[in-house]
Amino acid sequence: MELPKNILKGRKLQTLVENQTTYTVRNAAMHVFETHQQAEQVLLQFDQPVLASMFQGKKVMHLREHQPFNFLPGESLILPSNELMCIDFPEAEMDNPTRCLAMAISEEKVREVIMIMNETLPKADEREWCFMDYNFHFTNDPGIYQIIQRLLFLFSENHPSKDLFVDFTLRELIVRILQADSRKIYNEKSLQLSSSNRLAYVIEYIRQNLNKTISVEDLSQKACMSESNFHRVFKNELGVSPVEFINNERIKLAASLLQDPRKKVKEVYMECGFESRSYFNRMFKRKKKVSPKAYQTMFGQQ
C-alpha cells in the first residue's frame, strides 16, 4: 500500500513520534502518522470507531485482552471507539519511518450502513448485522486494499464534492469489513456454530469434503434453502460466492500439502478435489502468485 505523493509532500514534520497529518470530511477523519525514531508505549485513542492500516515498517500493538502482536504493512485493524492503544515502534528510523493510517468513522455512519445491510443483505436464520465490539486484525483483501487507496486520494483531493465521494466509498468499506469479519468468524468457529447456524453447517461440510465433488445445489439442500436464495445469502454474508469459497478452501489445503516435498502435484490437486491440473494450476497461481511447483520448491529450499 502506498501513500499518494501529495500527502507526502504536504505533511509538516513537527514531531519524530507519530507525526500527524489530518484530513476531515462530514462523517470521517483520516489521520496519517509517521514515526521517525524508535519508541515504546506510545498511547493513542479515538472517540469514534477506527480503521487502522499499515503502510510501512512495523508496530507492536498492546490492546486490552490481547497478547502483544506485530502490525505489518498490508494489514488493518478495526478498533471500537475509545479503545486505548499502546504502541511500540521497534524499527523506525529517520530515513525509514513507520507509516500508518487511522481513519475515524462516525458511529452514526456505521449504524446507517448496518441498517441498510439488514434491509438489503440479510443473513441466514434471521440474524442481524452488527458492528464488532472487539479488535479485528486482518490482512487486506484486494477489495479493501483498493478502497483504502481510493479514500487516501479522495481525502487529500481538493474537490467541491469530496464529502459525497467519501460518503459513498465509506459505505462500501464498511460493508466489506463486516463481510470480512463474518468470514473470519466462520473460518475460526464453523464447527462450534454448525449445530445452530445453517451457513456454519454448510461451511463445515465443505471443509470436511474438499476431496469430493461439491455442488451449489447439494449445499443449498443441506442449508434447507432454494439454490438462488442460498447463493444470495451466502454471498451477502461472506462477500464471496459459494464456488469462490470452495476454491479458496481447496487452495488453502493445497498450499499446506505442498509444503511436503515428497508430495506430487498430481496427488495434491486430486486430494483437494480439483478435476484437472490446468484448472488447479490456474486457480493456485491466481491466489498465491506462483505455480504449485514453484510454491513447493520455495518451501523445499527453506
Averaged pLDDT, 124-141: 85
Which pLDDT value is given to residue 131? 81
* Band (74; pLDDT cuts 50, 70, 90): very high
Q: Which amino acid is at 251?
A: I
Q: Is 10 left (phi over 0), alpha (psi -120 to 50) or beta?
A: alpha
- State the greatest distance between any 2 C-alpha atoms of the chain, in Å, as a whole number: 61
Averaged pLDDT, 88-116: 95
* Band (195; pLDDT cuts 50, 70, 90): confident
* Band (113; pLDDT cuts 50, 70, 90): very high
Sign of torsion over alpha carbons 192, 197, 202, 205 = positive
The C-alpha atoms of residue 188 and residue 148 are separated, in whole angstroms, by: 26
Structural domains of the chain sorted by starting position, each given as residue range(s) with its CATH number in brackets: 5-182 (2.60.120.280), 209-302 (1.10.10.60)
The C-alpha atoms of residue 29 and residue 261 are separated, in whole angstroms, by: 49
* Band (19; pLDDT cuts 50, 70, 90): very high
Which pLDDT value is given to residue 189? 86
Q: Confirm if 236 and 225 have CB atoms less than 8 A apart.
A: no
* Band (15; pLDDT cuts 50, 70, 90): confident
The C-alpha atoms of residue 131 and residue 134 are separated, in whole angstroms, by: 9
* Band (25; pLDDT cuts 50, 70, 90): very high
Its pTM stands at 0.85
Which pLDDT value is given to residue 302? 52
Averaged pLDDT, 213-227: 94
Which pLDDT tens digit goes with each residue over 29-66? 999 999 999 999 999 999 999 999 999 999 999 998 78
More confident residue, 299 or 169: 169
Percent of the chain with pLDDT over 90: 76
The C-alpha atoms of residue 200 and residue 190 are separated, in whole angstroms, by: 5
Confidence check: pLDDT of 9 > 80: no
* Band (6; pLDDT cuts 50, 70, 90): low
Q: Is 93 helix (H, G, I), strand (E, B) or coil?
A: strand
Averaged pLDDT, 210-236: 94
Give the range with max mean pLDDT: 1-15, 130-144, 175-189, 217-231.
217-231
Buried b / exposed e along 200-213 (16+ C-beta atoms within 10 A): bbbbbbbbeebeee
Q: What is the rounded average pLDDT for all residues in the chain?
A: 91
Averaged pLDDT, 113-121: 94
Based on its alpha-carbon atoms, the radius of gyration of the chain, rounded to whole angstroms, reads: 22
Contacts of 207 (CB under 8 A, 6+ apart): 190, 249
Which pLDDT value is given to residue 64? 83
**Element (DSSP H or E) covering residue 19:** strand 19-24
Confidence check: pLDDT of 102 > 80: yes
* Band (5; pLDDT cuts 50, 70, 90): low
Which pLDDT value is given to residue 133? 65
Sign of torsion over alpha carbons 198, 202, 203, 204 = positive
**Element (DSSP H or E) covering residue 300:** helix 292-300
